[in-house]
């Protein structure tokens, strides 16, 4: 059998399909443009700083999946659309189904992407992935830097100062090294007043990412009898969401429809589940003492934290609570959401007009 018979139309090695999962960060490596690419492809490879794919990648990372390895996502999904197209849905596991859903969101976000991918060579697919990944990574980095000092303002009591003060450009004294940030990072359900769980002791523990901190809860209050009560509804999360998606100035003011925040730039009109997990991850990292966001950071365990929140928000058994949560978030972030969602009053003139039109249409059809 020739080597050509072992490859898909776009050059993917079928024998090496699904070499790794896509919904996790890959190892860091330098991005480059191979010198041997044919001159005819030069126009395809646009500058990473100007290509629209970078622009879309920024929004993709914030609202669809923040810690996705885009190259693996594209390769796995193209295999599913090509060589594995005849496979029944039962042949794919839950993680593969989630990957494909993320891929479909990406296709909806970027017009013409599917056609571009299906006609692309292996090198072109790789470059498309690099551009999208660059946008996602840069957005995360920009948001991390922006929130580092902003979070300190939000956690400082009005008219007071933190004691001791926290530097805005150095994080070594944050996390469990400081009473304020440590209290917010304290895992929900632990009693800080007890000798068993002091801040120092918690800081010396390896707190896993799926042991959620108290700052996720409204009023920083956790009810073990009703763990959904107030979850992901804290004022700190709302401030961070507005800071990133509507504009830093909108945190203390009513958002305006004309603002050119990230939501407005990308035509975003509602909150997504991954965007909530993304904001929670960013705030948690901002409160921590870790200086650099890394998937291998055992202190923050950010990847597990993000994934565990996303798992809950996408759990079909929690659909009622999640729907209520999303509605609540939309009311906080998008001022026009209520007017769009509000049903027409039964006794209003508008309702009567619609009813009259329905009656006239029905009468005409019965003639």
Mind listing the pLDDT tens digit for each residue in 152-164?
A: 999 999 889 999 9
Q: Is residue 148 in some structural domain?
A: no
Domain final residue pick, 80, 107, 139: 139
The reply to whether 186 and 103 lie within a common domain is no
Residue 359 lies in a domain: no
Residues 69 and 102 in one domain: yes
Residue 27 lies in a domain: yes
214, 188 in Cβ contact below 8 A? yes
Does residue 81 or residue 131 have the better pLDDT? 131
Domain co-membership, 214 together with 295: yes
Mean pLDDT of 85-106: 89
Listed in sequence order, the DSSP H helices in the chain are 52-63, 70-81, 94-109, 113-118, 122-155, 179-185, 199-204, 235-245, 262-265, 273-287, 302-313, 319-333, 337-341, 349-366
Lowest mean pLDDT among 14-18, 143-147, 337-341: 14-18
The string of DSSP codes covering 274-297 is: HHHHHHHHHHHHHHSS-SS--TT-
Looking at the fold, whether 223 and 315 belong to one and the same domain comes out as: yes
Say yes or no to pLDDT of 174 above 70.
Answer: yes
Q: Are residues 285 and 180 in the same domain?
A: yes
Q: Are 184 and 220 in contact (CB under 8 A)?
A: yes
- Residue 294 CA to residue 157 CA, distance in Å, equals 30
Q: Assess if residue 216 is contained within a domain.
A: yes
pLDDT per residue over 27-74, tens digit each?
544 443 333 333 334 333 444 446 899 999 999 999 999 999 999 999
Whether residue 164 has a cis bond before it, omega within 30° of 0: yes
Which of 124-128, 248-252, 345-349 bottoms out in mean pLDDT, i.e. has the lowest?
Answer: 345-349
Pair 79, 194 in one domain = no
Angle formed by the axes of helices 273-287 and 319-333, to 10°?
Answer: 70
Structural domains in the chain (count) = 2
Assess whether 56 and 12 both reside in one domain. Answer: yes
Q: Is the pLDDT of residue 312 over 50?
A: yes
Asked whether residue 174 is domain-assigned, the answer is yes
State the number of CA atoms in the 13 A half-sphere of 333 facing the CB. 31
* Cα dihedral 168, 170, 173, 176 sign: positive
More confident residue, 319 or 261: 319
Cα 178 to Cα 167: distance, rounded to the nearest angstrom: 12
Q: What is the pLDDT of residue 31?
A: 40
Let me know if residue 366 belongs to a domain: no
Q: Is position 354 within any domain?
A: no
169 in the same domain as 132 = no
Mean pLDDT along residues 185-205: 66
Let me know whether 63 and 198 are in one domain. no
Please indicate, yes or no, whether residues 196 and 82 belong to a single structural domain of this protein: no
User: How large is the average pLDDT for residues 14-31?
Assistant: 54
Range of the domain at 106: 3-139
Beta bridge partners of 217: 231
Q: Is residue 346 part of a domain?
A: no
pLDDT at 343 over 90: no
Same domain, 134 and 171: no
The predicted structure's pLDDT at residue 42: 36
Q: Is 204 or 234 the better-scoring residue by pLDDT?
A: 234
Q: Which residue has the higher pLDDT, 45 or 170?
A: 170
The residue among 211 and 35 whose pLDDT is bigger is: 211
Whether residue 161 sits in one domain with residue 112: no
């Amino acid at each position: 059998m020739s080597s050509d018979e072992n490859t898909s139309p776009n050059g993917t090695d079928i024998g090496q399909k699904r070499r790794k999962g896509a919904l996790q960060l890959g190892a860091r490596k330098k991005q480059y443009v191979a010198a041997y690419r044919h001159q005819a492809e030069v126009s395809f490879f646009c500058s990473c700083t100007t290509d629209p794919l970078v622009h879309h990648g920024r929004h993709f990372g914030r609202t669809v999946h923040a810690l996705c390895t885009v190259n693996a996502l594209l390769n796995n999904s193209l295999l599913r659309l090509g060589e594995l197209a005849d496979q029944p849905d039962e042949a794919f596991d839950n993680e593969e189904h989630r990957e494909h859903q993320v891929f479909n969101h990406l296709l909806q976000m970027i017009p013409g992407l599917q056609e571009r991918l299906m006609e692309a060579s292996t090198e072109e697919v790789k470059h498309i992935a690099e551009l999208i990944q660059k946008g996602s990574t840069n957005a995360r980095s920009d948001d991390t830097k922006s929130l580092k000092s902003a979070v300190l303002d939000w956690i400082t009591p009005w008219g007071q100062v933190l004691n001791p003060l926290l530097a805005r450009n150095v994080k070594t004294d944050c996390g469990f090294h400081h009473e304020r940030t440590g209290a917010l990072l304290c895992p929900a359900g632990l009693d800080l007043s007890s000798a068993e769980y002091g801040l120092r002791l918690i800081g010396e523990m390896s707190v896993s990412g799926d042991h959620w901190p108290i700052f996720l809860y409204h009023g920083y209050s956790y009810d073990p009898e009703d763990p959904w009560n107030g979850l992901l509804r804290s004022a700190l999360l709302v401030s961070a969401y507005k800071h990133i998606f509507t504009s830093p100035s909108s945190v203390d003011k009513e958002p305006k429809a004309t603002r050119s925040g990230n939501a407005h730039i990308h035509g975003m009109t509602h909150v997504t589940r991954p965007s909530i997990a993304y904001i929670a991850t960013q705030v948690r990292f901002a409160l921590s003492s870790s200086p650099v966001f890394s998937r291998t950071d055992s202190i923050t365990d950010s990847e597990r934290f993000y994934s565990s929140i996303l798992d809950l928000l996408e759990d079909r058994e929690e659909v009622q609570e999640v729907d209520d949560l999303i509605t609540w978030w939309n009311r906080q972030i998008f001022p026009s959401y209520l007017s769009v969602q509000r049903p027409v009053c039964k006794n209003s003139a508008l309702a009567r007009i619609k009813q009259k039109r329905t009656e006239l249409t029905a009468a005409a059809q019965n003639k």
